[in-house]
Structure 1
């Protein structure tokens, strides 16, 4: 495998099984790429170099000895540096007080990836506790999109998306509570899939019910639709320690990527009714959505029926998301780590501000927000009464520029088309679907001035296979693989 060659994870797995590629050689190639390319990107917080080499040797021996192999046997991957624990690997949460924290057990889905034979080469960068739609923190700074190093990779799974786009790994895991898989997928020109709520089980402690709102989910980031389906096939499924995990429904995501979408009805919303959209994004997505008609589907522009303004939606997300942060902080405090008490000066100022603003929310206010979230859910479900899919831009702007000063961090835009927006999340058309738990993907729709633009494909609850089918059809008609020639070397 030469430096300029970037096989998909599916191709790698097949070649490894056939014996035409050596797992140690493959691992070394990707570690070399990581060393060569990540200095500019800043995608990795921790590199598990020696562990990856040892695991590659073991995986090669298992192959030689005829052991039962998992679907990702010998394939290098990366995992996020948030709540995606890997035993013995440092996990910072993008937070300075946790620079030396090392978890003692794996996350459920990390266990499943390892059982499938994947080789984890490192942990990828994220904003502090994933609190915003760009990746920048006080631990190692911003992560860039490989398409332009002056622009951010998006967040919060920015390190994972940048690593995949740059060919450092063919697959990476991400987490999504407001668009954190889809936003960086859009900014880095890769494919990101956020599955139906709790299709991927999570063993969260001390609060097993922590992420019921917003809907935090785990999913894949890849260069191809099939690779994302392969990774999700591995991670999906219930777990007895996750009281909210959905039962196995027999979905086959890889097979779904090859299905026809002829006859499907697609509702196209250029702005989710209420979001201002940059004209560069609008023109790319307006053209890209027509590919579904080529594939035999019908596309109709619709109104979703959302009653709140984009500012009200963003405020709602912040309040609901920060409620989970307060629960997380209580968990840390019970372990002797009082972040707001002892480490306030080491935290991102915006994070502290929002924690303080939401500290005294009453249960009555909380339930009032649940009513508002229900209104969003009902509006979206009304669309699915008539249509099979909803398509929107993923985010309202092209990738934002990295902040270069030492006194501030990168955030999203404060204004689009002369209209004020919330810089943490208000420019992202992703988070309303975290309120509702629908499966949603971001797919590369095209480029504007050399920067990637993403298109969001949303399915009805539990209809993940339909999203994969539409994604596969779009990829066949408008492939984006050639865009990586701009950044591959």
Structure 2
């Protein structure tokens, strides 16, 4: 059964076993959980018995458009070596979709603006970077929102097709190492805080 997981759980889980438990809770079906992912086989995390034999994994270093720091790439390659050592078949491949950042920002910022509308008179307490996103969301038109939804649906269909051949897609989680606290982005080469999360927002969309 094809499935894909993008784990960005810093602060939510301290071990692989805890991360798996959290994913299990998130994917549990129910009347209010219509966006949950499909069921997947139980994962053995005991180093003495764990095996990934039979899994076909697609590995994308950069999704075809992300600039990844060398130290991040080296650590990711080490993780790929470990997946191979556990018996997985790993194929270097890109899903081949264009950067969906504009669609993500339209949907995310518009959603944030809607959710925060009840506290309109208290916006000064929000993080400045977050507030800029909310203000952008207020300016998004219905046509722009619908166009972003169309991109989202197309990307979801593309990834569903991708996972007919690959059980997992593995990428780096972030393109750069952690940077100084209190900053929205690592440096001025990044347009906004969304820019340094290029491996996560495409799968927020799907």
TM bucket (normalised to shorter chain) is 0.7 to 0.9
Determine the C-alpha separation between the residues in 1 that align with 2:93 and 2:27. 32
Conserved 8 A contact 2:97-2:155: yes
Contact 1:266–1:299 (8 Å) recurs in 2: yes
- Aligned with residue 34 of structure 2, among 233, 238, 244: 244
Larger radius of gyration: 1
Aligned to 2:183: 410
Residue 426 (str. 1) matches residue 192 (str. 2): no
Q: Cα offset for 1:348?
A: 2.4
* Alignment coverage as a number of residue pairs: 197
Secondary structure at 2:196's aligned position in 1? coil
- Cα distance in 2 for residues equivalent to 1:231 and 1:303: 27
Gap runs ≥5 in structure 1: 1-178, 186-219, 403-408, 437-489
Q: Cα RMSD (Å) of the superposition?
A: 2.9
Residues in 2 aligned to 1:289 and 1:392: alpha-carbon distance in whole angstroms: 9
For residue 433 of structure 1, report the CA deviation from its aligned partner.
Answer: 0.8
Measured against aligned partners, the alpha-carbon deviations of 1:59-109 in whole angstroms (never above 9, x if no partner) come to: xxxxxxxxxxxxxxxxxxxxxxxxxxxxxxxxxxxxxxxxxxxxxxxxxxx
Q: Give TM-score, length-normalised by structure 1.
A: 0.36
Match of 1:440?
Answer: none
Q: CA deviation at 1:238?
A: 4.4
1:243 is displaced (CA, Å) by: 6.3
* Partner secondary structure for residue 386 of structure 1: coil
Q: Which residue of 1 aligns with 2:3?
A: none
Q: Any idea what SS the aligned residue of 2:177 has? A: coil
Partner of 1:76: none
- Greater relative contact order structure (CA < 8 Å, 6+ sep): 2
Q: TM-score, normalised by structure 2?
A: 0.79
- The structure where helix makes up a greater share of residues is 2
Task: Tell me the secondary structure at the aligned position of residue 96 of structure 2.
Answer: coil
Cα distance change on mapping 1:245 and 1:382 into 2, 3 Å: closer
SS at match of 2:193: coil
Map of 2:141 onto structure 1? 362
Q: Aligned residue for 1:328?
A: 115
CA drift of 1:285 comes to 1.0
Is this contact kept in 1: 2:111–2:137, CA < 8 A?
A: no
Counterpart contact for 2:109–2:136, Cα < 8 Å: no
1:338-370 per-residue CA deviation (whole Å, 9 max, x = no partner) reads 33xx22333322222222222132222111011
Instruction: Tell me the residue number matched to 1:184.
Output: 10
In the alignment, which residue of structure 2 is the partner of 1:10? none
> Cα deviation per residue 1:385-443 (whole Å; 9 max; x = unaligned)?
211111110000011112xxxxxx4222245xxxx33331212211111111xxxxxxx
| CA apart distance, 1:260 | 3.0
Structure 1 residue 239: Cα displacement: 4.8
SS in 1 for 2:57: strand
User: Is 1:349 the equivalent of 2:128?
Assistant: yes
8 Å Cα contact 1:269/1:391 also seen in 2: yes
Moved more, 355-364 or 427-436: 355-364
Report the counterpart of residue 105 of structure 2 in structure 1: 318
Is the Cα contact below 8 Å between 1:265 and 1:388 reproduced in 2? yes
Pair 1:247–1:289, CA change in 2 (3 A) = closer
Corresponding position: 1:277 with 2:68? yes
Runs (5+) with no aligned partner, structure 2:
1-5
Higher strand proportion, which one? 1
Which aligned pairs between 1:78-93 and structure 2 lie closer than 5 A? Answer: none
Q: Find the aligned partners of 1:235 and 1:386 in 2 and give their Cα distance.
A: 24
- Output the CA distance in 1 between the equivalents of 2:204 and 2:158: 14
Structure 2: distance between partners of 1:364 and 1:394: 31
Does the 8 A contact of 2:9 with 2:19 survive in 1?
no
Question: Where does residue 377 of structure 1 map in the other structure?
Answer: 156
Equivalent residue in structure 1 for 2:13, among 207, 216, 221: 221
Cα offsets for 1:19-39 (capped at 9, x unmatched): xxxxxxxxxxxxxxxxxxxxx
